[in-house]
């Protein structure tokens, strides 16, 4: 959990990086608190990985500064910055044992053999691989190799740990498991984690705060709940979760599908609710829920989601072509027009 009273572990000021005519990172300002699990979220090419590489020192900015714990490290090489990086491809040495991989950084620093072994064992136990020190990476599963890479990164107790889509190569079940393990490890260590991903569910699950990147800029920085419930821009509303965007008069607003109650057109209007009617154009049964796509009489369409508490797939699919009334609380909408005008 972040310590707000301490100076930021990472501070980016006016950070810019160009590749040819493209500004991959376009004048970013960002403070990340000590002990925070901070996620950079965005599509491919949005600038999140380049920002991470600028923090690590793998890239030099064309403008702006990078500070680590109050110290300007913009001109320092990666090995002089108190950060470590975990990559998606693990980057383990295949000819070394698991234990040798984990203690490699200590060996480079000249730490004695006995201390190296003890610290490597503690790091492996932290990631539940205490009995795997003598194995080779090829003998491990993908999830186990990722944990070895994590142990190697944390053995030096860096001030900041940078994680560049570390779970991207894992299958869904293992990825979900590793999300919880990473979150627990970060809480136990108290190290600042800066996590890069394009997976919105991953970001919402693990993060204290999230920065949503788009075309080299940050669209919004917020807690997961604030980001989901109150997106600052139409891009954020569409990228984080599924959100309807409809226009009425001079206003554009968002409403999440799960906030919409869908029923037959004859259903009475609920007190205090907004309501629209329309034709159910498509029905998608996805197990726990059914997704309804409704063409509205006033123009546009809304997607509504209903839990399948007592509904079978046959019952749900029969609704295609029926008339429906959609209702929602006004407090569950977010006016994008007002937000844009205030910026």
Q: 287: domain CATH number?
A: 2.40.50.100
Instruction: Return mean pLDDT, the chain.
Output: 90
Whether pLDDT at 64 is above 70: yes
Whether pLDDT at 3 is above 90: no
Considering 209, 235, 261, which residue would you say is the last residue of a domain? 235
Structurally, how many domains does the chain consist of? 2
Whether pLDDT at 290 is above 90: yes
- Residue 253 in any domain: the answer is yes
Residues 209 and 286 in one domain: no
CATH code at position 173: 3.40.50.300
Residues 255-286 pLDDT 10s: 999 999 999 999 998 999 999 999 999 999 98
Residue range 4-33: mean pLDDT, rounded: 92
Considering 193, 216, 235, which residue would you say is the last residue of a domain? 235
pLDDT class for 328, splitting at 50, 70, 90?
Answer: very high
Whether pLDDT at 343 is above 60: no
**Worst-scoring range by mean pLDDT, 33-47, 90-104, 210-224, 281-295?**
90-104
Residues 190 and 44 in one domain: yes
Residues 305 and 209 in one domain: no
Residues 145-190 pLDDT 10s: 888 988 998 888 899 999 998 887 778 888 888 888 888 889 988 8
Residues 150 and 72 in one domain: yes
Residues 225 and 325 in one domain: no
Residues 161 and 205 in one domain: yes
- pLDDT of 157 reads 85
Whether pLDDT at 125 is above 60: yes
Residue range 318-341: mean pLDDT, rounded: 85
pLDDT class for 249, splitting at 50, 70, 90?
Answer: confident
| Beta strand pairing call for 160-164 and 333-335 | unpaired
CA distance linking residue 92 with residue 321, whole number of Å: 56
* Exposed / middle / buried, residue 304 (Cβ in 10 Å: 0-12, 13-18, 19+): buried
Of the two residues 16 and 252, the one the predictor is more confident about is 16
Q: Which residues, 6+ apart, have CB-to-CB distance to 293 below 8 Å?
A: 280, 281, 282, 283, 284, 301, 302, 303
Of the two residues 18 and 341, the one the predictor is more confident about is 18
Whether pLDDT at 1 is above 60: no
| Cβ contact 166:118 at 8 Å | no
Residue 131 structural domain: 10-235
pLDDT class for 338, splitting at 50, 70, 90?
Answer: low
pLDDT class for 339, splitting at 50, 70, 90?
Answer: low
- pLDDT of 334 reads 85
Whether pLDDT at 75 is above 70: yes
Residues 97 and 215 in one domain: yes
Residues 192 and 305 in one domain: no
pLDDT class for 5, splitting at 50, 70, 90?
Answer: low
- Residue 101 in any domain: the answer is yes
Considering 235, 270, 291, which residue would you say is the last residue of a domain? 235
- pLDDT of 225 reads 93
- Residue 304 in any domain: the answer is yes
Whether pLDDT at 127 is above 90: no
- pLDDT of 57 reads 95
Residue range 191-207: mean pLDDT, rounded: 93
Of the two residues 125 and 174, the one the predictor is more confident about is 125
Q: Which residues, 6+ apart, have CB-to-CB distance to 209 below 8 Å?
A: 2, 36, 38, 39, 221, 222, 223
Residues 273 and 309 in one domain: yes
In this structure, the number of other CB atoms found within 10 A of the CB of residue 143 comes to 18
- Residue 295 in any domain: the answer is yes
Residues 307 and 180 in one domain: no
| Cβ contact 212:239 at 8 Å | yes
């Amino acid at each position: 959990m972040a310590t707000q009273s301490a100076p930021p572990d990472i501070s980016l000021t006016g950070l810019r990086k160009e590749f040819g005519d493209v500004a991959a990172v376009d004048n970013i300002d960002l403070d990340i608190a000590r002990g925070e699990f901070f996620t950079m979220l965005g599509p491919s090419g949005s600038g999140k990985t380049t920002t991470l590489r600028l923090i690590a020192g793998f890239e030099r900015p064309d403008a702006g500064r990078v500070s680590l714990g109050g110290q300007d490290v913009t001109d320092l090489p990666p090995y002089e910055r108190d950060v470590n990086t975990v990559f998606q491809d693990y980057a383990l040495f295949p000819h070394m044992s698991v234990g040798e991989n984990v203690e490699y950084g200590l060996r480079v620093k000249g730490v004695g053999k006995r201390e190296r072994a003890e610290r490597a064992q503690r790091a492996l136990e932290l990631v539940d691989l205490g009995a795997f020190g003598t194995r080779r990476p090829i003998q491990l599963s993908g999830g186990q190799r990722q944990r070895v890479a994590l142990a190697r990164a944390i053995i030096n107790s860096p001030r900041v740990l940078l994680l560049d889509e570390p779970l991207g190569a894992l299958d869904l079940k293992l990825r979900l498991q590793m999300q919880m393990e990473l979150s627990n490890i970060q809480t136990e260590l108290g190290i600042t984690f800066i996590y890069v991903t394009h997976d919105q569910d991953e970001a919402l699950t693990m993060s204290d705060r999230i920065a949503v990147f788009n075309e080299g800029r940050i669209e919004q920085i917020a807690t997961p709940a604030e980001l989901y419930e109150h997106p600052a821009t139409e891009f954020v509303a569409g990228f984080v979760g599924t959100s309807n965007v409809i226009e009425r008069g001079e206003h554009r607003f968002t409403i999440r599908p799960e906030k919409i109650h869908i029923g037959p057109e004859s259903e009475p209007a609920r007190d205090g609710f907004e309501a629209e009617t329309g034709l159910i154009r498509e029905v998608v049964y996805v197990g726990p829920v059914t997704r309804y796509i409704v063409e509205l009489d006033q123009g546009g369409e809304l997607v509504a989601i209903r839990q399948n508490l007592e509904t079978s797939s046959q019952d749900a699919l029969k609704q295609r072509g029926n008339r429906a009334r959609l209702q929602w609380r006004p407090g569950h909408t977010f006016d994008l027009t007002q937000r844009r005008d205030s910026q």
